[in-house]
Amino acid sequence: MALINPNQYYKQFRDLGDYLADGITSLAGTMPFVYFHIIWFGSWILAGTGYFGPEYAFDKFPFGLLTMVVSLEAIFLSTFVLISQNRSSEKAEIRAQLDYETDIQVEKEVDLIMETLVRIAKKQGVDVSDLQQQMQETHQHAKREADRRTEARHKRFAKEKNGG
């Protein structure tokens, strides 16, 4: 059980710019957006080449105005995408922290439950030393695996840092 809902938590800090960036990024990632651009660019090029008549050829080949408009659109779209990705990263970090906190909480609760069961078993005269040994071995195995993964991560980061 999460301590808080990460989506609700993150929504508290969104401003107009965040909503705008998300909206534009969501729109830009759709097929209607692609279709719109196909029609827009196709019409622009056809007009520029005189297909609709010479009076509509406002941007002739090599389409300098179209190039500038498309470049500006690309700059703004990439900026909005980066803003959305940054926020997605922040959300992922919040979720990871909440997952970690929840895991710690669950681990403490399981330890408490196990301790309670051991006490009950002792009061009932049931020998649980073999189960306690298995629990210790499980904890030790988990610790070794965590240490192994941490060491592998450190080696990978060191290798990347040294350019290889």
User: Is pLDDT at 115 greater than 70 in this prediction?
Assistant: yes
Q: Where are the domains of the chain?
A: 6-96
Per-residue pLDDT band for 9 (boundaries 50, 70, 90) equals confident
Q: How many whole angstroms separate alpha carbon 114 and alpha carbon 139? A: 13
User: Is pLDDT at 105 greater than 70 in this prediction?
Assistant: yes
Give the contacts of 121 (CB within 8 A, at least 6 positions apart): 127, 128
User: Is pLDDT at 2 greater than 80 in this prediction?
Assistant: no
* pLDDT the model gives residue 138: 87
Helices within the chain (DSSP H only): 6-11, 16-28, 31-48, 64-124, 129-161
DSSP classification of residue 137: H
Residue positions counted in the chain: 164
User: Is pLDDT at 54 greater than 70 in this prediction?
Assistant: yes
* pLDDT the model gives residue 17: 84
DSSP classification of residue 54: G
Per-residue pLDDT band for 72 (boundaries 50, 70, 90) equals very high
DSSP classification of residue 2: -
- Contacts of residues 130-134 at CB distance under 8 Å and 24 or more positions apart, as own/partner, are none
Per-residue pLDDT band for 164 (boundaries 50, 70, 90) equals low
* pLDDT the model gives residue 11: 76
Positive or negative, the CA dihedral 102, 84, 12, 7 is negative
Per-residue pLDDT band for 3 (boundaries 50, 70, 90) equals low
Mapped onto helix, strand or coil, the DSSP state of residue 50 is coil
Q: For the chain, give the longest Cα–Cα distance.
A: 100
pLDDT tens readout for residues 139-154: 899 889 989 999 988 8
